[in-house]
Structure 1
């Protein structure tokens, strides 16, 4: 039976008018979520035209479109005004791009770098406004942290410090935990945990005064057992738990705490294949003889190749992470967790809801495929896998 076309046309006209208004106000972004919502509305339109009277079809389609656009709309944001933000790790990657975007928006940006003459520091100095201040800081050196704290207190006395972005991160080795020197765990913890802890505690009086924001860049490796990222993942897990504790403790002070858990993006550290090769050679040169015999050089070479191959899937556009950090700083009600990056939400769904065997296979499929150490290979002498030396045969 033929239906009246005006119900469909009227609903689409109302939805299109609101979408256009949101786009003009920058409350809505063209992208896959919007296209998916429009596709679902088209399916709903088709069903309504066949199952409902014209007035009911108009009401249902309009309501569905209104709800979809409301869900897709960006949450209300606070004005930038004269807000000051300190960002760590601005030599490259997320830190550098976030500093550039916040400076463009009108923030007073205090950007810390390891080297004031690094390419990233020179780029920031060349392309950003005079509001941006470059500060040298090594998070493993208390004297550097103290100097940055004093500078921040002095230079934000009038505007106040609105936000801290703990972005600086460090990973020293890609290897099984047994193969990784304990010093690599300490190195990762010094930067990713203790450095962030000392800096955050030092800035809390300023952040309490402004009722500001703390944003920390974590990693899915801190939530999931990524093979060969034990040192890095452990330090990220520690800092995320620390931020969750801060989130509870600082709530009465009005400070909001967010953690950004990005997928794999093509930052400078990811693209530096020579650095990972040097790390592998250093590991092989210093590995105890018994461990090298048990695991074998081929095993370590395989893990390194798989790791480097997985980096080829990294996303070149860093804007999802930069946008997440910006939203955490300015949204009236920021999220406690952000998951920018292709497939990250699916990864977390699999991790939390599927059986352990499927979780493990998923990580192996998209990260490092399994490989037996030399001592466990069938043609090698030694205990049979699954049996301890003293176990009855």
Structure 2
């Protein structure tokens, strides 16, 4: 009996390996639009796809970021300036993409742009702190997608949305985790709606990786600003020691994150170039061996594991 089960598992894995090695043809004729290419995953992916011969349309927030990318890539790669929080900027970028792709349509859309701060215990934050992250990570992603979907449908192409393992398991407060849950939900509905058009939607779920959105100095500065704006009642309830301990725990977490961004960009590249892309790509050992398994545990068990080493507030029980 066990021998049959092992044989079936081996056949399944062999079939999956074979399917995932099959790539789409005519890559040099395919256009891919990537947001957030100033640094991090977007910057590396643009260079990676350019090296594969695809026609990369890279959207950067700043001209300096666009210039750095152009200097590191071939003449095929084209750049545009895009602020995903502004509808006029998205409209201008959409018109530019239409002019670039013509009647062929847009093969790939990679929604990579994102920010990580402000992040802090929720009670320290204001509505504006949440909106700042929501506008970039979720609302901007949705508006970019809706604007470019007709071009993606024309090419029967791909949409690749960058979520996070924090879209499965909330580890800290602020707008980041809610936006990633939202990206998961939006991507799931989009995938089912576009299936009959031949469009495939993939979700990238990175664990912790060393990018600018997790820069330690940026996190510290953001926490200090949030704490300084907190009400007297909040400061009394939590205490200064809690603030310092909270940052130390965040610092400890950031010290363990991976510098190997290729684990994520390789998943993005596979989602764009494989004939049979996966629905979800979990990237990093922390995602595979810690966060995802914990997300399936009973809530009380997950709560204990995530809070047992956290600092205690001054007025806590």
- TM-score, normalising length from structure 2? 0.92
Q: 1:311 aligns with which of 243, 249, 254?
A: 254
Give the length in aligned residue pairs: 310
Contact persistence 1:175–1:300 (CA under 8 A): no
- Aligned equivalents of 1:340, 1:195: Cα separation in 2: 23
Alignment-derived partner of residue 116 in structure 1: 63
Over aligned residue pairs, what C-alpha RMSD do you find? Answer: 2.1
CA shift for structure 1 position 69 = 5.3
2:128 is matched with which residue? 183
From 262, 267, 273, the counterpart of 1:324: 267
Aligned to 2:193: 249
Q: Partners in 2 of 1:81 and 1:140 — Cα distance?
A: 31
Any conservation in 2 of the 1:185–1:231 contact (CA below 8 Å)?
Answer: yes
| Structure 1 segments of 4+ aligned residues over 2 angstroms from their partners | 61-75, 354-358, 360-365
Partner of 1:99: 46
Give per-residue Cα distances to partners, 1:259-314, cap 9 Å, x unaligned.
000111111332x2221121122112211111111111211221111112111111
User: What are the ranges of 5 or more consecutive residues in structure 1 without an aligned counterpart?
Assistant: 1-47, 49-60, 377-384, 386-393
Q: Specify the alignment match of 2:73 in structure 1.
A: 128
Q: What do residues 328-353 of structure 1 show as CA deviations (whole Å, max 9, x unaligned)?
A: 1111121111101113123312311x
Unpaired runs of 5+ residues, structure 2, are none
Does 1:293 find its partner at 2:236?
yes
1:215-294 residue pairs with structure 2 within 5 A? 215-228=160-173, 230-270=174-214, 272-294=215-237
What is the rounded CA distance, in whole Å, between the counterparts of 2:13 and 2:122 in structure 1?
A: 46
TM-score, structure 1 as length reference: 0.74
Q: Secondary structure at the match of 2:80?
A: strand
- Which one of 13, 21, 28 corresponds to residue 75 of structure 1? 21
CA distance in 2, matches of 1:251, 1:71: 20
- Where does 1:338-349 land on structure 2 (aligned, <5 Å)? 338-346=281-289, 347-349=291-293
Q: Which string of whole-angstrom CA distances, capped at 9 and with x for unpartnered residues, describes residues 30-62 of structure 1?
A: xxxxxxxxxxxxxxxxxx9xxxxxxxxxxxx99
Give the CA deviation at 1:76: 1.0
Deviation at 1:375, TM superposition (A): 1.1
Larger Rg: 1
Instruction: State how far apart, in whole Å, the 2-side matches of 1:67 and 1:218 are.
Output: 28
The equivalent of 1:58 in structure 2 is: none
Partner of 1:18: none
Deviation at 1:65, TM superposition (A): 7.8
Give yes or no for the alignment of 1:87 onto 2:27.
Answer: no
Partner in structure 2 of residue 214 of structure 1: 159
Residue 90 of structure 1 contacts residue 112 of structure 1 at CA under 8 Å; is this kept in 2?
Answer: yes
Q: CA deviation at 1:75?
A: 3.0
Deviation at 1:372, TM superposition (A): 1.4
C-alpha deviation, 1:158, in angstroms:
4.6
Cα offset, 1:168, TM superposition: 0.5
Check conservation: 1:265, 1:317, Cα contact below 8 A: yes
Question: CA distance change for structure 1 residues 141 and 276 in 2, over 3 Å: closer, same or farther?
Answer: same
Q: Alpha-carbon deviation of 1:361?
A: 3.4
